[in-house]
Chain A
Amino acid sequence: MSFWTDPILVANEWFTGLLADLLPEAWATLISTIVGVVLVSSFGLILVIFLIWLERKVAARFQDRIGPNRAGPYGLLQTIADIVKLLTKEDSIPEKADKLTFNLAPIVSMIAVLLIWAVIPFAPGWIGTDLNVGVLYIAAVGSFGILSILMAGWASNNKYALLGAFRAVAQLISYEVPMLLTLLVPVLLARSMGMMHMVEVQSTWFIVLAPVAGFIFLVSSIAEVGRTPFDLIEAESEIVAGYHTEYTGMKFGLFFAAEFLHAFTVGVLFAILYLGGWRGPGAVEYPILGVVYLMAKASIGYFIVMWVRSTLPRIRIDHMLDLNWKVLTPISLALLIATAVLDKVFAETALRAPALLAGNVVVLLLSWALLRGMSRKARRERQVFKKRPEARAVQP
């Protein structure tokens, strides 16, 4: 193991060895932990500066524009310039606001996203900490983001902000249900909640074994982030800017940065749970390649998020909730049952992968047929109303 194959491991061994000579063991552990934490979280924060530039460039291309191109080469320094601008903006706190909660909310939103990165496996051996309850930890920490939105909306003492917060309650927690259920499918397939183990067992990517579950996970994650078409919590044509109406300067910037980082984190989670994480040719010998693979795969998920954002219009709140409770949740329950039964019946046989794939396809076709039948029935009812106007009067 040399520096060039695994720089982090070598650096870590050198550093802990150095500390062990100088300090008692408890202190050495604490200091190396702090260094690890700073490394992982600053990776996320530096990433977000690049991500905002990337998203603006890609969104511009979708709309046939050029995007930021003035500050630095290809406009790369645009985000830095924006940060400097935000830092010099006046920070106004409304008189009627609940000051403590108001100031705490943007900080909590950033913490919630950064905490997810603690258990992200970047490459073999490169992980903040390999918790044995990694998936559950992600689900738990992810919910903090909702809390921050509620705090912001309630503390602003502004009707639009409060409406945004209430929509967040309806939307984000609703979409948490199919997300949790489709998080269970990889846990079932891997028989573990550890994130590193999750990647190690994916000799066939889970997207092959559970494509529909992967799709539902991606859709409900987009709703979790509050991206278009699910951005009802900050629908500017209806409720100004939603929960961050009253925020100015750097506090708004923190909400903004947290949202962008969360969108990419969704791509990373999708890559780890369904696309095999850092797996790829040569990743075990050269961990640095693993990071490249993970980021490439995460970019696929992130690109889909951006693509959906620039393509689809915002959907109505009742449609959004119907999609969640009446389509995604039942399908993910059915998928969970199909995966559990089929994986047990065909365990350790060559038929495991085809059977699981077939189970997914059957669930998809069944739900497709059911939805088609329901939409036809609804259309027929509408036509009856159109032909006989008096029929509408009878209906309450």
Chain B
Amino acid sequence: MEQNWLFIGVFVAIAGVFPLLPIMIARILAPRKPNHIKLETYECGMETVGDTWVQFKVQYYIYGLVFLIFDIETAFLYPWAVAYGVLPMFAVIEGVIFILILAGGLFYAWRKGALEWS
């Protein structure tokens, strides 16, 4: 068990080295002649107007919130699915009721207009 997670830990480190390598090679090989105009923000040749980090359409965040609810509730279903083989019918029905509540949440968000892009 610990050895499994050791593998993942080593994998994270080495998977980081692999993409770092070409960037390091490029740093040696590539020319570097920066100037002010070259390093300006590229917005199709127009000069940038105003700050980029501004307030944005709220709909993006609403989708984020709906996703968060569903993601967590789906994560709760995984242990149920793994134990499924030994569960009695009663526990399976309980799981189904949980999924139905989830579907109710989706229906509520739908009726409230959280899923409309306008």
Instruction: Give the interface of A toward B (CB within 8 A).
Output: 29-30, 33-34, 36-38, 40-42, 45, 83, 86-96, 103, 106-107, 110-111, 114-115, 118, 128-132, 135-137, 154, 156-160, 162, 166, 169-170, 173-174, 176-177, 180-181, 184, 187-188, 191-193, 240, 245-246, 249-251, 253-254, 317-318, 321-322, 325-326, 329-330, 333, 336-337, 340-341, 343-345
Contacts and interface: CB of A to CB of B under 8 A. Distances in A.
Nearest to B25: A87
Nearest to B82: A193
26 contacts: A34-B14, A37-B10, A86-B22, A87-B26, A89-B30, A90-B30, A91-B32, A92-B34, A111-B19, A115-B8, A115-B12, A118-B11, A135-B78, A136-B75, A176-B67, A184-B78, A192-B82, A246-B41, A250-B23, A318-B118, A322-B117, A325-B106, A329-B106, A340-B95, A344-B87, A344-B92
A318 B115 CA distance: 9
A187 B78 contact: yes
The 9 closest A-B pairs by CB, nearest first: A318-B117, A191-B85, A110-B19, A129-B7, A250-B26, A114-B15, A173-B67, A187-B81, A95-B39
B34 to A, nearest CB: 7
Contacts of A173: 63-64, 67, 71
A34 B56 CA distance: 45
Contact of A187 (B40, B48, B57, B82): B82
Size range of the interface on B? Answer: 35 or more
Contacts of B3: 29, 33, 129
Contacts of B10: 30, 33-34, 37
Given A111-B19, A318-B117, 17 more contacts: A34-B14, A42-B18, A87-B25, A87-B26, A90-B30, A92-B34, A107-B23, A130-B4, A154-B53, A158-B52, A170-B63, A174-B63, A250-B23, A254-B22, A325-B115, A341-B93, A344-B84
Contact of B44 (A93, A188, A240): A240
Given A38-B14, A191-B84, A333-B102, A118 B29 contact: no
Contacts of A245: 42
Contacts of A188: 81, 84
Contacts of B38: 92
A27 to B, nearest CB: 12
Interface in B75-100: 75, 77-78, 81-85, 87, 89, 92-93, 95-96, 99-100
Contacts of B112: none
A61 B82 CA distance: 44
| Residue with the greatest number of chain A CB neighbours at <10 A, chosen from B7, B18, B36, B96 | B7
Given A93-B39, A169-B60, A180-B74, A326 B110 contact: yes
A94 B41 contact: yes
Contact of B117 (A131, A177, A317): A317
A181 B84 contact: no
